[in-house]
Homo-oligomer: A and B are copies of this chain.
Amino acid sequence: MTDNFTYTLEAQDGRARAGRFTTPHGELLTPVFAPVGTAATVKALTPAQVEDLGASLVLANTYHLYLRPGDELVARMGGVHEFMQWHGPMLTDSGGFQVFSLGENSKITDEGVTFRSHIDGSTHHFTPERAVHIQENLGADIIMAFDECSDPYDRAYSQRAMQRTHAWLERCLEAKTRPDQALFGIVQGGIHPDLRAESAAFVASMDTPGIAIGGLSVGETKDEMHATLEIVDPLLPENKPRYLMGVGTPEDLVNSVYRGIDIFDCVLPTRLGRNHAAMLRRGGRLNLKNATFAADPNPIDETCTCYTCRTFTRAYLRHLISAKEMLSATLLSIHNLHTLIQLTQDMRASIQAGTFEEDFEPMLVKGKA
C-alpha cells in the first residue's frame, strides 16, 4: 500500500521543507496549496482553468458529496476524479468538521455522529467506518480519518475530542480497504501544548502515509497557532508530509511552512473571489466593489502573472461586480488561487536555494522560535 505514496524530503531550510509526495494520480511538489472543490467543483472555475493555475491537488468535501449527489452515485460515475474531470491528485476530508459545525443539528457519541442535513433536514449517521466507506466510494488519493474538532480553549473538551479522535483513527485504519488511497491521521488537542504533543506522538505511532493537523484556524490567535505548530513539528516523522487543514492566507502559509508544514487547503481564495475581494501576495485584500476603483486602469497587482492581472483592469473588475456579472467571481477566484499557489511554488524554490528566511523575512512572525 505505501508504495503508492512515498514522500521524499528534497531540501530543508531551517524547519521549512521542500518535498515530493507521489500519489496514484501524480506527484505533489510541496509546499502545496489545494483549491477546495466542495461539491466536486472549484466554484466558478472549469477544471481546465484550475489546471492552468498550476494547481496539483484539489480537495472535495465528503459531507457535501455524501448528501448530494451521493457517494454511491459518484462511485457509479467512476469516482470523484472522473465525475468532476480532475485528473490530478485529490483529497477528501472526512466530513467530521462539517458535521460538528452543524451545532445543535448534530449529536456525538463514542460510536459516531447523528446529524441533520443542511439541505433537507433529513437525519444521517456517520461513524469512522462509514466516513472511510464513503471516502472509498468517492475515491480520492488522500482520505482523512474521522476526527472531532473541539473548542480549542476548552481543555477538558479538547482532551475528550483528542482521545476520541485517536480511537476513531484506529477504527478508520481497520475499516480501510483500498490500497490506492492514503489515509492521513489527524492531530488534535486545541491550544494545549501537552495535548498536542500527546496527539502528535500518537498519530505518528500509527504510521499513516501523511499526518494532518486539525483544529487550527478555528478562532485561536496567530501566536497560539504558531506555538502549536512548533510543538507538533519536531514530534512528527520527517519522512511524511504534514497537512495543515483549512489554512489559509499568504501570511499563514509562510508562517506555517516556516514551522514545517507541507500541504494546505482553504475555501478562502474562492469565497473571497465571490465576495469581491482580491488577496494580495504580501497579505491584505482589495475590495474591488469600492468606487475608488471605478476608473482605475491598473491590474489588481502589477507584479502578479495570473490571467486576471495580465488581462483586466481594476475598473473592469469593479464594473463586473457592480453589474452583478458572474465573471467577477471567476476572475477574482483565478487571481486569489494563483496568489496562494504561486506563493507555495516560490517558497519551494527559496527552500531549495536555502534562502527561505531571507526571501520571506517581511512576512515572517518569528515568535519564541
Contacts and interface: CB of A to CB of B under 8 A. Distances in A.
B46 A319 contact: no
Interface string A310-351: 011101101110110111011100000000000000000000
Contact of A84 (B49, B77, B84, B316): B316
Contact of A319 (B49, B68, B307, B331): B68
A41 B295 contact: no
A118 interface: no
Interface residues of A, number: 39
Contact of A46 (B43, B315, B327): B327
A67 B9 CA distance: 57
30 contacts: A39-B320, A40-B316, A41-B327, A43-B325, A43-B327, A44-B326, A45-B327, A46-B327, A46-B330, A48-B307, A64-B323, A68-B319, A69-B315, A69-B318, A69-B319, A73-B294, A73-B295, A73-B315, A76-B295, A77-B315, A77-B316, A83-B315, A83-B316, A83-B319, A84-B316, A85-B311, A85-B312, A85-B316, A326-B329, A330-B330
Can you list the 6 inter-chain pairs with the closest CB atoms, starting with the nearest?
A39-B323, A69-B319, A41-B327, A44-B326, A41-B325, A85-B311
Given A39-B325, A83-B319, 18 more contacts: A39-B319, A39-B320, A40-B316, A43-B325, A43-B326, A43-B327, A44-B327, A46-B327, A46-B330, A47-B311, A69-B319, A76-B295, A77-B313, A77-B316, A83-B313, A83-B315, A85-B311, A326-B330
